[in-house]
Amino acid sequence: MAMTYNEDQSMLRDSARDFMKTEAPVAHLRKYRDMDCKDGFSHDLWKQFADMGFTGILIPEADGGLGMGHVEAGIVLEEIGRNLSPSPFLSTSVVAVEALKAADKAMRDRWFPGIIAGETVVGIALEEGKKHHPEKIALKAERSGNGFKLSGAKQFVVQGSSADMLIVAARTAGAAGETSGSTLFAVDKDAAGLSIDAARTVDSAMAARLDLNGVEVTADAVIGDVDGGWAVLSKMLNAGRTGSAAEMVGVGTGAMDLTFDYLKQRKQFGRVIGEFQSLQHRAAHLYGEMEMARSAVLKAQNFLDEEDPRAELYASVAKAKAGLACSLSVREGVQMHGGIGMTDEYDIGLYMKRDRALAEYMGDIYFHADRVAQLNGY
């Protein structure tokens, strides 16, 4: 297993780094935050993602995509995190694509072209409680004629208010808490009985609460098998957890770079504060933690691409380790900046906000630490 990038991956990293730095830096986030953008991201930028080939990075070549893997998707996500670039890449081009790979040809032909072109946004409607518990699906899908009728609520649906389609996890059999009996549905944003309540998250992105009141879908809306949605959902979760971990590595690295630059500029007692040994020790420790997190994420990405059964375990290892390292980075960044780090004048506070939003996405540090223990038999 390669724990470094090959030549093509290094070229992709350089391309993504230059693109994000030029077209979607932190100033871009500030612009759309200050204008109170209803979607939380630029649709023009999303089309630029498509022009760069990023949107179809995980879509198979047979379906018009690039047919690359999670290592490559993670490279893009890390640069998104480093620059706090607002985009629907994680939910649409990673998690939703992973789900749609299991769909029939008609559904793939309907949604993949729009994703590849940067014209389609997909929201993932999974969460129902205050914390991440993917097996506790209670939203009901009852047989109705040639299809199903969906009733229930979802929350923390990232990009849910701007999505063209929503992938909804529902229960067709069994009870909440069971992995069997769940089914995934592709629900159009304009479906009758669907209400969407948008809310801005702490990092200035947009999420939504969904209420489904007897939303009717045909049998063609099913992704994968009826009652067998967990098989597809598990792949989505592994992709989303590893992807969000990669973005957290980017966020942590971006915060670390900001902090190191500040240590080289700020003077106290006639000396640059980066010369103080106590701060040097903290900086060295932070650098080591970020590199360990990057290695954990890369290992999880490789396992996903190789379809290794250990991917599930290492997706949680990656999310937990990236969460710890990123949290350390933003906290140390604010502290080493001093009081000014708490103001909006400096960007370090924006990195802390993105860290908090990503930390909750598909399971926080504690969820995944517990999951790692369980998967290891404890």
Per-residue pLDDT tens over the stretch 205-262: 999 999 999 999 999 999 999 999 999 999 999 999 999 999 999 999 999 999 999 8
Average pLDDT over residues 179-198: 96
**What's the mean pLDDT when you consider all of the chain?**
95
pLDDT of residue 120: 97
Q: Please state, in angstroms and as integers, the Cα–Cα distance from residue 202 to each residue in 122, 205, 343, 351, following that order.
A: 21, 7, 15, 11
Q: What angle do CA 351, 330, 122 make, to 5 degrees?
A: 40
pLDDT of residue 305: 96
pLDDT of residue 342: 84
pLDDT at 340 over 90: no
Buried b / exposed e along 252-263 (16+ C-beta atoms within 10 A): bbbbbebbeebb
In whole angstroms, what is the distance from residue 216 CA to residue 232 CA?
22
Q: CA torsion sign, 135 to 140 to 142 to 147?
A: negative
pLDDT of residue 1: 63
Q: Please report the domains of the chain, with CATH numbers, ordered by start residue.
A: 7-121 (1.10.540.10), 124-227 (2.40.110.10), 230-375 (1.20.140.10)
Encode pLDDT of 250-288 as tens digits. 999 999 999 999 888 877 777 887 778 888 999 999 999
pLDDT at 48 over 90: yes
pLDDT of residue 279: 83
Quickly state the pLDDT bin for 2 (edges 50, 70, 90): low
Strands (E), 128-276: 140-144, 147-154, 165-171, 182-188, 194-200, 206-218, 222-223, 267-268, 271-272
Encode pLDDT of 67-77 as tens digits. 999 999 999 99
Q: Which of 278, 259, 282, 280 is nearest to 338 (CA)?
A: 259
